[in-house]
Structures are given as structure tokens and as C-alpha cells.
Homo-oligomer: A and B are copies of this chain.
Amino acid sequence: MEKLGPVEQKFILHWGEMGTRWGINRTVAQIHALLYLAPEPLNAEQIAETLSVARSNVSTSLKELQGWGIVRVVHALGDRRDHFESTKDVWEMFRVVLDERKRREIDPTLAVLRSCVADLSKGRKAETYTRERLKEMLEFFEQVTGLYQEFQRLPPRAARKFLQLKGRIGKLVDSVLGG
């Protein structure tokens, strides 16, 4: 199966575009989309041909996807080549992506904010305004990341369940914290 249907094509192209917006390399995202749709594992050659990208590129991209843990190598008997397959678990995929984004987009900011607030606490200048602003932001980030980490630690079943809370959020918050 090296020929893509129109729908597969549409999805893969779109996934590539969205990838760039999600901070993910376009071809990495395209390869992931292809593997996600592929009923059985593909080798590097097939991927390169199907998507019309250089093999070297495929190699690098696969390595990255494996690093994230959403693509893994499998072998077929009597075939030396590596074959690759993607996890089909959508929730797991996005958990990984969110982790990565947190690492790149939140954690550095947390570090800088902490360092800034520390600096301002030492030299007690007339910078009280700046300090208040930064402390406020730091507190916000800490609350959000704390909550996120708690989600991550939830067993998969509980996490999935949470998505089904739709329509009950308001009541929920009220009941726990007292309206």
C-alpha cells in the first residue's frame, strides 16, 4: 500500500500543516499521520516514497517520533529492514505532545520567573511593583502546572473519564469548593 487515497492525502497534508503550528516539524507530523493511518507497519523506504521526501529526512523524523514514544520499531521475519508503527491511542499521543510542550513552553518560564522573583527579593529596591507583577504570574504558572501534573498522574481510565465531565463542570466546582 504505497498509494494514498484522497482522504488519506488530505489528512496527512493537514496534519503536517498543523504540526508546524504545534511546534512540530512538518515532515515529522506527516510521517506520524501516515503511520497512524497505516493498517500495518511501514519501512523507511515506503514512507519516503509515499510522502516524496528524502530518506535521510525520514530517518531523522522517525528517530524523533521514537524519542517521544509514539512510534516504535517492529520487525518482520526474514526482513532485515526496520518497520515502524504508530500508537493508535489518541489520548496517549496527546499526553506525549502536551508533556513536550509543557517542557518547552512552560518550564523555562517557571525557571525564569523564580529567578526573577529571587533577584528582586534580595535587592529591596523601589521595584516593588515589578516584584508584585512577577510574583502574581509565578503563582499562576505554579498552580497550572501543579494541576497538570496531577492529571498526568491519573490512571488512564480516570483521565479518560474526566473528558466525559461535559455539562457537569460548574456543579462540580461548586460542590467541592462551596459555591
Contact = CB atoms under 8 A, between A and B. Distances in A.
Given A7-B127, A169-B151, A177 B161 contact: yes
A82 interface: no
A55 interface: no
A158 B129 contact: no
The secondary structure that dominates the A interface is helix
Given A147-B163, A172-B176, A173-B154, A90 B22 contact: no
B154 A166 contact: no
Chain A, interface residues (CB within 8 Å), range = 35 or more
Interface of A: 5-8, 10-11, 14-15, 17-18, 21-23, 36-37, 39, 88, 90-91, 94, 104-105, 108-109, 112-113, 115-116, 119-120, 125, 127, 129-130, 133-134, 136-137, 140, 143-144, 146-147, 150-151, 154, 158, 161-170, 172-174, 176-177
Given A11-B116, A21-B105, A140-B163, 20 more contacts: A5-B130, A7-B116, A10-B116, A14-B112, A36-B133, A37-B133, A39-B129, A88-B133, A88-B136, A90-B137, A94-B144, A143-B163, A150-B166, A154-B169, A154-B173, A158-B174, A161-B173, A165-B173, A165-B176, A168-B176
20 contacts: A5-B125, A5-B127, A7-B116, A7-B127, A8-B130, A10-B119, A11-B134, A17-B108, A18-B108, A18-B109, A21-B23, A36-B137, A37-B130, A90-B137, A143-B166, A146-B166, A147-B163, A154-B170, A158-B173, A168-B176
